[in-house]
Structure 1
Amino acid sequence: MKLTTLLSAALLPAATLAQSVTVSTGAGSAIQTFYSLEQGELSSVPLADWDLAFEINAFNSSILVNTAKGLKAYETTAAFDEWDLVTVPDVENWTEIQNSEVYWSAGALTHGNDLEDPLGLSVGWGTYNPVTHTIIGTRIYAIEDADGGFRKLRINSLASGTYSFTYAAIDGTDQQEATLLKSAFVGKNFGYYSFATNGTVDPEPMAADWDLLFTKYISMVPTAYPVTGVLQNKEVTAMQVDGVPISEAMWNSAELDTAINVIGSDWKSFNMTTFQYEYVQDRTYFVQDRASNIWKLVFTGYGGSANGDITFNQELVSSVSVEEEAYGQLAVYPNPSVNGQVNMVIGSELRNGRLTILDQAGRLVHAQVVNGAGSLNNVPVDLAGVKAGLYMARLEADGRVFTARIVVE
């Protein structure tokens, strides 16, 4: 059955019924595809087009390295003013660094700055000056190409919305002084730069327009390894529901997560006996887009390196067109329950609706039709036989949704 109740399903347009979608990352996962859950594919761009990505949001300063195309990033042991002394690779003494697969704002060059426990005024590649409101570079990096060549790199500063940086071949030849202006990428998450063209590139749609990025990226599984999967945009949250039949999974059974790799790549695995990809059969994802719509995604296929096709079923299960009342509008008493009996109380003028009770895994444990005569002000609910625990009550009526938590003792 559909995840939504009969009432909410009737309120959503027919276009929201589950549909099969295929998004391609190309042969060898050489393509990045930006995807809108409402509009579909927005753009597909070659993964290899860029080398560095600079965060654009006003107070952010993360810098990504395109490790997915085969680059490796190292923090050297040299001091910032020892630029001319870095002339040969020394990977045995350098520290290899990676982009976070959890936060966009923790790029490889933010290495050393734990976002959950920041190192004072350090942003990784430099130090913030609270007087001048600039960031001054403090580290020298080395970037290894897929073919084994090396560049050295330093980020000189971020001042007045302009990143200034220097890079050269490891022996100091072909030195380039470069800048990237945040103002050139207004409305984007990142501004991108290519060593090949010594200039900026602009592969990313406006941040407000896309929800998911289908791409190759580096995952710690448990060490750094290239995988192909799905990452969420900033301000797009998601949750993974396991161990529940797909038809019964509920989006309000747990908290949505801000980690960008909730979907990630582990919805598939490669069977080394059959040489076929396999998919977790009882895994459902729910994604909340920037407009607060909730989408249900179930991944069903992957074409591997041959074509990079990712196939999934997509369904809109909660729309902002259905008014969602604030938590706490539905009162429950007694709470905890007494002998499995509780009453639902709401003062709003409502008539017919449907009440569901879900456990913490999203499984349906109770459902009943509620008939009101203008005001649903005392609805008895019999939970006798339901084991002790925390449950979610959800009442949908007259196009509105009310929720509350119930403790059964």
Structure 2
Amino acid sequence: MKTNTIYAAVALLALITFGSCERTESPLPEIKPSDGNKLTLNGGIGGLDAANAVYVDLSTDKQDSVKRKDWSLGFYCAADFRVILNYQVGMSAIETSQTDIKAVNSSNVDLSKLDYDTKPEKIKLYDDTAGRVNQSVITEVNATENQNKVYIVNPLFASVKKDELWKVKVTRSGTNAYNLQYAPIDATNIQTLTITKDNTFNFKHVSFSKGAVNVEPKKDDWDFVWTKASFYTMMGPNTPVPYAFSDLIFLNHETGVSAAEVVFLDKEGKTNGKPSYDEFDASKLSAINLKTGRNVIGSKWRNTLGTGALKDRFYVIKDKAGNIYKLKFIAMGAGKDGGKRGYPEIEYKLVKGK
């Protein structure tokens, strides 16, 4: 009996050892990028004021819908200490002269500075429309605590209501985290929250009403976001003024996603010598100038007063992994394109894998 027990133990040990070696030596299967697909993005209710922002990852055919109103501030997870406002609902802010959040209230801040107007000087109330974090309203968080000012944040676009305003102060917490103090503008009870950087994300997000919230997918898990946002329109040559746009496409520029626009029909609807979406393949890539930046696509893909999703163009997108896709917008629910507003339809095809 004892001998049999020893034999059984030896056999079990050999089986475990063999299984362990097998697991160690077998490489994980490589997940191939999607060859392409059609998606209807879930913008949710609201039509041109659709409730959701939709993050899209072409290589996995995945979309993540997040309520645009579910966050207030975004805390940058890269090396710099930067904070952004919720551009998806058009938040604005002003800096006060105070460094003590308890000393700030509606009686000692000129709230008229937050008034909305289509004047060039008003665009400074909003974060940079190109998404550059070094040009956000809240300046870089200083390592010296008393060098950081209190800000008044307005969650409403084109309207100012005192009862909706928040006062905010952000400082550093050690070398890898932020400390947030926040409260309604006339409150004396100050809330505090520590936000730790996570380099698998571009930003970590906070809601004034809910605290820490999940918003963007991990930074390697999305290529672009479809959303409504505070943006700009031109009021004369080289004169941008604040304006709210629906159906914007913003690239995940923080990870280096790039894109190019290909317009293959002229104003009369005739071919101009460039390949159409169906004709475009890897042999045409050498003629494409891919550009980085959040607004490479922006609002260029649609005309809300005319044809809706424009049929004379498509886009080439290169993701962080190096996969290159061609992308066209089929419908958006405006003009005569036959879609449903808030649920844009896209089609894409892999042109070249990584």
TM-score (norm 2): 0.70
Q: Hey, what does 1:181 align to over in structure 2?
A: 196
Q: Hey, what does 1:310 align to over in structure 2?
A: 344
Deviation track 1:280-309 (CA, whole Å, cap 9, x = no partner) reads 332221100111111001112103696411
Deviation track 1:10-61 (CA, whole Å, cap 9, x = no partner) reads xxx9973x6433212122221122211111124222111111110112x122
Mark the CA change 1:136 to 1:260 in structure 2 (over 3 Å): closer, same or farther: farther
Measure, in 2, the Cα distance between the counterparts of 1:237 and 1:109.
Answer: 26
Mark the CA change 1:83 to 1:308 in structure 2 (over 3 Å): closer, same or farther: same
Measure, in 2, the Cα distance between the counterparts of 1:260 and 1:141.
Answer: 26
State whether structure 2 residue 230 is matched by structure 1 residue 218: yes
Q: Hey, what does 2:15 align to over in structure 1?
A: none
Matches for 1:74-93 after TM superposition, within 5 Å: 74-81=93-100, 84-88=103-107, 90-93=110-113
Matches for 1:268-283 after TM superposition, within 5 Å: 268-271=302-305, 277-283=307-313
- Indicate the SS of the match to 1:252: helix
Mark the CA change 1:137 to 1:241 in structure 2 (over 3 Å): closer, same or farther: farther
Q: Hey, what does 2:298 align to over in structure 1?
A: 264
State whether structure 2 residue 318 is matched by structure 1 residue 294: no
Measure, in 1, the Cα distance between the counterparts of 2:216 and 2:104.
Answer: 36
The Cα of 1:138 is off from its aligned counterpart by 2.5
Contact kept? 2:183, 2:191, Cα under 8 Å: yes
The Cα of 1:82 is off from its aligned counterpart by 7.4
Structure 1 residues not aligned, in runs of 5+ = 1-12, 111-123, 321-409
Code of the aligned partner of 1:200: A
The Cα of 1:75 is off from its aligned counterpart by 1.9
Q: Which has the higher strand share?
A: 1
Contact kept? 1:156, 1:165, Cα under 8 Å: yes
- Indicate the SS of the match to 2:181: strand
Contact kept? 2:261, 2:313, Cα under 8 Å: yes
Mark the CA change 1:299 to 1:106 in structure 2 (over 3 Å): closer, same or farther: farther
Identity level (%): 25
Mark the CA change 1:32 to 1:300 in structure 2 (over 3 Å): closer, same or farther: same
Mark the CA change 1:81 to 1:268 in structure 2 (over 3 Å): closer, same or farther: same
Mark the CA change 1:253 to 1:145 in structure 2 (over 3 Å): closer, same or farther: same
The Cα of 1:237 is off from its aligned counterpart by 1.0
State whether structure 2 residue 71 is matched by structure 1 residue 56: no
Q: Hey, what does 1:207 align to over in structure 2?
A: 219
Contact kept? 2:308, 2:333, Cα under 8 Å: no
- Indicate the SS of the match to 1:142: strand
Range with greater deviation from structure 2 (22-31 or 87-96): 87-96
| Aligned counterpart in structure 2 of residue 21 of structure 1, from 34, 39, 42 | 39
| Aligned counterpart in structure 2 of residue 251 of structure 1, from 285, 300, 320 | 285
The Cα of 1:85 is off from its aligned counterpart by 4.2
Contact kept? 2:59, 2:323, Cα under 8 Å: no
If asked which structure has higher relative contact order (CA below 8 Å, sep 6+), I would say: 2
Q: Hey, what does 2:207 align to over in structure 1?
A: 194
Measure, in 1, the Cα distance between the counterparts of 2:102 and 2:289.
Answer: 47
Q: Which has the higher helix share?
A: 2
Contact kept? 2:93, 2:125, Cα under 8 Å: yes
Measure, in 2, the Cα distance between the counterparts of 1:317 and 1:296.
Answer: 7
Measure, in 2, the Cα distance between the counterparts of 1:76 and 1:166.
Answer: 15
TM-score (norm 1): 0.61
The Cα of 1:172 is off from its aligned counterpart by 3.4
| Aligned counterpart in structure 2 of residue 168 of structure 1, from 183, 190, 195 | 183
- Indicate the SS of the match to 1:143: strand
Measure, in 1, the Cα distance between the counterparts of 2:70 and 2:149.
Answer: 25
| Number of matched pairs | 280
State whether structure 2 residue 154 is matched by structure 1 residue 144: yes
Code of the aligned partner of 2:314: T
Contact kept? 1:295, 1:315, Cα under 8 Å: yes
Mark the CA change 1:205 to 1:186 in structure 2 (over 3 Å): closer, same or farther: same
The Cα of 1:126 is off from its aligned counterpart by 3.3
